Amino acid sequence: MQAAGVDKNRYDFYVMDAHQLSFDDSSFDLIVGFGILHHLNADVALKEIHRVLKPGGRVLLQEPLADNPLLKLFRVLTPKARTEDEEPFSGSAVKKLTSHELWDTELFYCGILEAPVAMVTSVVLPSSPDNWILRFSDRVETWLHRKEILLNWNQYICFNMTKRSPNSV
């Protein structure tokens, strides 16, 4: 940890089941996770996150999406690249997770064009990471998101969820 610049005297690290956290109710202001929830029973894990967050607390999660046909093909062709418990989120799963009255939720999507274009341009134009093709794909992707076109075909979704106070539920 010290090699990574983390002062172990300043932080506490725990290993535990995310479905049954050993923290007290309303312990945290913020919880952040990258690629964790799709390995869990999302409903149970989100209930635990809700329990340990203070009213008005926020959870930020970035998770993979399942509906893009090219990503589906990639997953079929590379089964050993993932664990058995992985289940990227479909559009219907996202809708189910975010329909709870316990949360105020914002969703952000990324990777429908930018990720594959970045892969191609990193090979074709390795000395130009900030190239016109990538900038153009960013503009198109931004437009698609604004129009809510093919949102679930993105590579990732970011959940920005704020715990509603008991009075507003």
Domain boundaries, the chain: 25-111+158-169, 113-149
Query: pTM of the predicted model, to two decimals?
Result: 0.86
- 25-111+158-169 belongs to which homologous superfamily? Vaccinia Virus protein VP39 (3.40.50.150)
Asked whether residue 33 carries a pLDDT value surpassing 90, the answer given is yes
Specify the pLDDT at position 169.
52
Pairwise CA distance, residues 27 & 40, whole Å:
21
Type of residue at 146: R
Specify the pLDDT at position 165.
77
- Helix (H) or strand (E) holding 110, with range, is strand 103-110
What percent of the chain has a predicted confidence (pLDDT) above 70?
97
List of residues 6+ apart from 165 with CB closer than 8 A: 55, 56
Type of residue at 8: K
- The answer to whether the beta carbons of residues 50 and 103 sit under 8 Å apart is yes
Specify the pLDDT at position 1.
62
Pairwise CA distance, residues 67 & 90, whole Å:
6
Task: Give residue-wise pLDDT tens across range 116-151.
Answer: 899 899 999 999 989 999 999 999 999 999 999 999
